A and B are shown apart, each in its own frame.
Chain A
């Protein structure tokens, strides 16, 4: 028996088509508790389109590094790439997103909280963007030790942590019953050769158990690709949307995650 459910997603990257599909999907599943872990812009077309959708669905939003940069008018996205090619694309999409995000939406991004705490299934839950201690920290499945997660739980005093920022979803239940969840991104595929994107559903089930599902979301990626081309966004980005393989920002991937992709 499911008693309570919530959906958590992140990394929207201006993918308003996937966001609309997600909102329809969760409505159909009967969920009303919706959380977004940030990075609303980047990568995709028409950044202003995601804001009314989030507001209308009353999604509670956490600030990502991209949101922080846009909101504060910083010169870059603070992803910390060192590779020249990654930096080229990062700068290009940041400039596009910055130019096309309204002043009102930038103010809204600036005021987003860096984390949210709530109680769910009798557990203390922390929602953040990168990690509880740093908005732009990458928590990859293959480079995050259990000992490190235990420390994050200890330091933040919670039982469940949900983050995003890497774009790759994963979930680990620690021996003590605490859960770390990376909800992935709905803005672009997970470098797995599928066009679907991913988000997380948390369910409180009978007996006080917490169930975590990483859910694929199909959406009209062709529409997004067409809009990206019309906006003259880099063909490399469109390729990722159409094939499910990452073509840029690969330097940050650890060996195991990198080996799974095509490039």
Chain B
């Protein structure tokens, strides 16, 4: 793929493999969100579940590379029957974060998660996607009944002592940020969250989201000039890679794009990233939106004292 001026896309070498992601649920999800950038659904078999053997093998390889932390995503990771064993294997080596829609939690599996958390000295982070603080705003995007299901999941997590990070794609006018965040804070506090941790994400105009709103324009590409004087440490692909049941890809965003494919093995996956996709312009503008830090903002609980205006 070339940009409008027909020059090859900028290449970004992998500085070091700090974070290793696992597409553990492939593109399979119990939901069918209208903004899902890889169009996950119960019947999207583009990528399948990873096996425990695959995950163990990549974890073993990651140690020699000095990986600092692990992320588990999908689809919905908790659909994968081996997710608990996968997390146990990861938490023996380093911190783990799971990105979930929180609709599959039961008292029994949350207790199992808590036991995994308590057995490790590393952090186990749960990141819950929610796209509004009411069923009226969330459900049109994530599906009927999903708000109540996810809030029940959040309640179970909070009850087990987890401090879930709630992520929301900003589908509203940025001017409404304060009102929306206040709504989220109130709901999450009511659900038992003692520390409200919120992360807003910009829209990635890919997959289902491209149909819901609009896709990228033909002229939206990164150029070498744009990267001059830019700190590439803000980009996820500068220090991360993702493995799926098929091999290694540059990042979770481009997992189902030809431009994101790097090879069958982790060794091949260490080659530079080609920043050829229009979605790269979103990362360029907002930074490493996929990692726990970064994004449009991580709003925390308000200890005594309010933000003076």
Residue of A nearest to B69 (CB): A143
A82-B293, A142-B121 given as contacts; is B16 within 8 A of A247 (CB)? no
How far does the Cβ of A254 sit from chain B's closest Cβ, in whole Å?
4
Task: Give chain B nearest CB distance to A163 CB in angstroms.
Answer: 14
The answer to whether B69 and A145 have CB atoms under 8 Å apart is yes
Q: Residue A124 at the B interface, CB < 8 A? A: no
In the complex, what residues of A have CB within 8 A of residue B295's CB?
82
| A229: interface (CB < 8 Å) | no
- Interface: B123 (CB within 8 A): yes
Nearest to B161 among chain A residues (CB) is A259
Is the CB–CB distance between B302 and A145 below 8 Å? no
Interface bits B264-281 vs A (CB < 8 Å: 1, else 0): 000000000000000000
Is the beta-carbon distance between B195 and A251 smaller than 8 angstroms? Answer: no
- B68 close to A (CB within 8 Å): yes
Which of A20-28, A94-102, A147-155 touches B? A147-155
Distance A10 CA – B307 CA, assembled complex (angstroms):
29
A252 contacts chain B at the CB level, 8 A cutoff: yes
Complex A-B: 25 CB contacts under 8 Å:
A82-B296, A82-B298, A83-B298, A85-B302, A140-B123, A141-B121, A143-B94, A143-B123, A145-B69, A145-B122, A147-B62, A148-B94, A151-B65, A154-B66, A235-B305, A236-B303, A236-B305, A239-B303, A247-B303, A248-B303, A250-B300, A251-B298, A255-B125, A255-B163, A259-B161
Given known contacts A142-B122, A255-B123, A255-B124, A151 and B305 CB-to-CB distance under 8 angstroms: no
Q: Do A254 and B125 contact each other (CB < 8 Å), given the known contacts A86-B300, A148-B94?
A: yes
Q: Cβ of A256 < 8 Å from any Cβ of B?
A: yes
Number of contact residues on B: which range applies?
Answer: 35 or more
Closest CB of chain B to A107's CB: distance in Å?
A: 26
Do A145 and B94 form a contact, CB below 8 Å, given A235-B305, A255-B163?
yes
Contact residues of A: prevailing secondary structure: helix
Q: Is the C-beta of A84 less than 8 angstroms from some C-beta in chain B?
A: yes
The answer, yes or no, to whether B26 is at the interface (CB within 8 Å) is no
Query: Taking the complex as formed, is B294 at the interface, i.e. its CB lies under 8 A from any CB of chain A?
Result: yes
Asked whether A255 lies within 8 Å of B162 as measured between CB atoms, the reply is: yes
A254:B66 contact, CB within 8 angstroms: no
Q: Which residues of B contact A146 (CB under 8 A)?
A: 93-94
Say whether B285 faces chain A, with CB atoms less than 8 Å apart: no
Decide yes or no whether B197 CB sits under 8 A from chain A.
Answer: yes
Question: Which residue of chain B lies nearest to A250 when distances are taken between CB atoms in the complex?
Answer: B300
A223: which B residues are within 8 A, CB to CB? none
Residue of B nearest to A134 (CB): B233
User: Complex Cα distance A143/B69, Å?
Assistant: 7
- Binary interface profile of B, 227-261, with partner A (CB < 8 Å = 1, else 0)? 00000010000000000000000000000000000
User: What distance in Å separates the Cβ of B194 from its nearest Cβ neighbour in chain A?
Assistant: 9
Alpha-carbon separation in the docked complex, A85 to B298 (Å):
10
Q: B12 an interface residue at 8 Å Cβ cutoff?
A: no
Q: Is B18 an interface residue (CB 8 A)?
A: yes
Contact mask B111-136 → A, CB, 8 Å, 1/0?
00000000001111100000000000
